[in-house]
Structure 1
Amino acid sequence: MAVRIRLRRMGAKKRPFYRFVAADSRSPRDGRFLENLGWYNPILKPAEVHLKEERIYEWLKDGALPTETVASLFKQVGLWKKWELMKKGGDVSGLTITTQIKERPKKKKKGKKAPEVKAEVQEPAEAEATEEKPPEK
């Protein structure tokens, strides 16, 4: 059985709230899961995360793979770095897991810009000098 650590959507319509769960990769997003591993609330500013670290490490040791989104969240709170050090046998006593995720800066929208008309530079002195004028009487 392929186990994935993924997000299970909870909450009301347009007010998402997620739980980190260990689930069989073949089960639906909000379907049956093996264990609840924490929660993630993106509505709060800054977004808040609560994780059961020891249980997550146990699932990762047993071969569970996080989804891309979960791996990204783990990296943002520092859990992934701690896991990598634990795998190598390094000292992890100084590392702490944050409970808040920093807000990303919003992207600037690219609006339609009017094409700039480049004015042709004409030098009137040279233009008049090249034209021949009839002599005045």
Structure 2
Amino acid sequence: MTNPYSIGDLSRLSGVNVETIRYYEKVGLLPAAKRAGNGYRQYDDASLDRLAFVRRGRELGFTIDEIRELLGLADHPDRPCADADRMTRAHLDDIEGKIRDLQRMRHALIEVANCDSRTAAHCQLLQALARPGLN
């Protein structure tokens, strides 16, 4: 094994915390690490690369199951990427929906921001929360 890394080394190099690395092993995103004579996990460069792939996928908002599917495609580079394209389009649709929701929330908050009332009895936010259909 070239460049054996302890789980702490792998964590430091990848930016993924130790508990998360163990979890990724448990759910099969990372293969089980080889064990040194003392029982400590030992990882190699391939594990570091795979962990970087998983981390980037999570940063982009893909689920564990989606990442598992993407890893399956990455592990078989001769397969067509139509599944990856389908997942990307579905993920983009989801993100665009969330952006629309956030824009609606932003607009609603702009409407009630900077309330001139000096008391909670006339607070625009409190009134909007009590009667959401009015704003």
| TM superposition score category, shorter chain reference | under 0.3
TM-score by length of structure 2 reads 0.25
Higher relative contact order (CA 8 A, sep 6+): 1
Instruction: Answer 1 or 2: which has greater helix percent.
Output: 2
